[in-house]
Amino acid sequence: MLEALQAYRERGYTPFNPPGHRQGRGADPRVLEILGEAVFAADVISVNGLDDRLNRQGVIEEAQQLMAEAVGAEQAFFSTCGSSLSVKSAMLSVAGPHEKLIVPRHVHKSVISGLILSGVSPVWLSPHWDAERHLSHPPGVDEVRELFEAEPEAKGMLLVTPNDYGTCGDIAAIAEVCHEFGKPLIVDEAWGAHLPFHGDLPPWGMDANADVVVTSVHKSGAAVEQSSVFHMQGDLVDPNVLKAREDLLATTSPTSLVYATLDGWRRHMVQHGEGLLTAALALAHSTRAAINDLPGLRVMGEAEFLGEKLAKSLDPLKMVIDLTGLGISGYQAADWLREHQRVTVGLSDHRRVVAQFTHADDHRTAGILLDALGALVKAADEMQTPPPVDLPSPEDLQLETAMLPRDAFFAEVEQVGADQAIGRICAEMVTPYPPGAPAILPGEVITEEVVDYVRSGLNAGMQLPDPADSELKTFRVVARKP
């Protein structure tokens, strides 16, 4: 892709097709001052731009094949709409309207959107819950086997691993069970694009015999936002079906910025990935120890995350920092770090923040994080006691499904007060974000416990972008028939 972009520039083409900015000549100088001319110069249409009118040079196809070879897949497809679209496409390639798919209940909202769009009937699989720490981990192999035995018509399974906290499921064992039943395993490995390139990281989905693996290279790799890749192997998912389903959802105007950075990242990892990740792992190890030396802070690790009913493995590049000893919430910490230290973190919850390391980090950035956390420790005494969050038990989070997500979402609805919503069928997603796993789904029966949870969470600083009423004074529910 990069070679094609360089050739396009060297040959001096004069385009009379999109994009209309003409490699930046038509961009507002005020925009160029901030973004730079290079961004626009690299934004070239694929058809009759980077390649010819009939794509006879096979530029994209060659780049995708190189990606597949790099990570040990049989085929790879680039997506310029992020893994939110990729995971929907993967689901649609396995199950269609009214067909069943095994889905863990802690999936990302993009999976729920896929269920709503497709009409696929989810067979909910409970994750491994850590009730003490209020965390969920990928489900185990025994639960998967039980569901396939109970639901033999299920077309396949979706697994999310790693999750936002970096905990991973046993992909190989779950894939073996799926294949015993002749069913494919889709892995939403959005947080795992780096995993194929170092042996000290958790197992990579293709190596663990998954059939389709979706990664977000912008998360833990070095491509721009929205960069995603499908990886495929085996014969349980038809690549032509996957491509056709992806075409239903994807843009017809993919950006070369995503393509080129995906391709460049792949080359970088093949040539230098092991060394870069070795350095990143060493840096993460030393930084973890230094954070643990700060009073009131603890980086959670294998002792808290791994076990028979917890996770199988852990990505050591995820710093899950427990703030309980400081008496503040993750929401407070994330806001304070951004405002006072100009440091941003990924996930924040009622008691933790997550700082993710990549191969791009070095001793300078690690030092900035440590200094910022040290300042946070000193400032915590002056912070207000955070409002309590009414954390439900794992059982209380498993709501009754009364309608398919699609049917509830598109049903006739009404907006009712929070108290009146209890016992009604929800018609919207109510999603703490991040991590983006909905607390209430369309089609589920709303309970008092989960209403108390999300409303108290909102009051404590939780972000809930999905509900129609951002203050959660009311909920969107399926209308009762007269």
Count of other CB atoms within 10 angstroms of residue 378: 10
DSSP secondary structure letters along 453-468:
HHHHHHHHT----SSS
Give 273's DSSP letter. Answer: H
Asked whether 77 and 128 are in contact (CB, 8 A), the reply is: no
For residue range 19-64, list pLDDT tens digits in order.
Answer: 999 999 999 999 999 999 999 999 999 999 999 998 899 999 999 9
Per CATH, is 273-382 categorized as 3.90.1150.150?
yes
Helix axes 256-292, 2-11, angle to 10 degrees: 130
Asked whether 96 and 248 are in contact (CB, 8 A), the reply is: no
Predicted pLDDT of residue 251: 87
Among 36, 49, 65, 158, CA closest to 108: 158
Q: CA angle at residue 171 from 167 to 177, to 5 degrees? A: 140
Distances (CA, A) of 206 to 189, 219, 236, 269, 271: 10, 19, 14, 17, 20
Q: Burial-class residue 405 by CB neighbours within 10 Å (0-12, 13-18, 19+).
A: buried
Contacts of 380 (CB under 8 A, 6+ apart): 296, 323, 326, 327, 328
Predicted pLDDT of residue 3: 95
Tell me which CATH homologous superfamily contains domain 394-478.
Orn/Lys/Arg decarboxylase, C-terminal domain (3.90.100.10)
The C-alpha atoms of residue 97 and residue 143 are separated, in whole angstroms, by 25
Q: Burial-class residue 259 by CB neighbours within 10 Å (0-12, 13-18, 19+).
A: buried
Helix intervals (H) in 329-434: 330-341, 363-379, 394-397, 405-409, 418-421
- Write the class of the CATH domain 2-265: alpha beta
For residue range 429-482, list pLDDT tens digits in order.
Answer: 999 988 888 999 999 999 999 999 999 999 999 999 999 999 999 999 999 876
Asked whether 191 and 219 are in contact (CB, 8 A), the reply is: yes
User: Which residues are paired to 440 by β-bridges?
Assistant: 430
Predicted pLDDT of residue 160: 95
The C-alpha atoms of residue 12 and residue 68 are separated, in whole angstroms, by 32
Count of other CB atoms within 10 angstroms of residue 424: 18
Contacts of 25 (CB under 8 A, 6+ apart): none
Predicted pLDDT of residue 482: 65
Asked whether 453 and 392 are in contact (CB, 8 A), the reply is: yes
Asked whether 130 and 310 are in contact (CB, 8 A), the reply is: yes
Residue 413 region by backbone torsions, left for phi larger than 0, else alpha for psi between -120 and 50, else beta: beta
Contacts of 67 (CB under 8 A, 6+ apart): 73, 76, 78, 229, 231, 262, 263, 266
- Could you tell me the pTM of the whole model? 0.94
The C-alpha atoms of residue 321 and residue 324 are separated, in whole angstroms, by 9
Domain residues of the chain, as ranges?
2-265, 273-382, 394-478
Asked whether 129 and 167 are in contact (CB, 8 A), the reply is: no
The C-alpha atoms of residue 333 and residue 345 are separated, in whole angstroms, by 9
Beta strands 413-417 and 352-356: pairing type?
Answer: unpaired
The C-alpha atoms of residue 200 and residue 189 are separated, in whole angstroms, by 17
Phi, psi of 356 (to 5 degrees): -105, 130
Predicted pLDDT of residue 347: 92
DSSP secondary structure letters along 25-54:
TTS-HHHHHHH-HHHHHT---IIIIIS-TT
The residue written with tokens 């919850």 in the block is 349
One pLDDT digit (tens) per residue for the chain, 482 residues: 999 999 999 999 999 999 999 999 999 999 999 999 999 999 999 999 999 998 899 999 999 999 999 999 999 999 998 888 899 999 999 999 999 999 999 999 999 999 999 999 999 999 999 998 999 999 999 999 999 999 999 999 999 999 999 999 999 999 999 999 999 999 999 999 999 999 999 999 999 999 999 999 999 999 999 999 999 999 999 999 999 988 888 888 999 999 999 999 999 999 999 999 999 999 999 999 999 999 999 999 999 999 989 999 999 999 999 999 999 999 999 999 999 999 999 999 999 999 999 999 999 999 999 999 999 999 999 999 999 999 999 899 899 999 999 999 999 999 999 999 999 999 999 999 888 889 999 999 999 999 999 999 999 999 999 999 999 999 999 998 76
Specify the DSSP element, H or E, that contains 3. helix 2-11
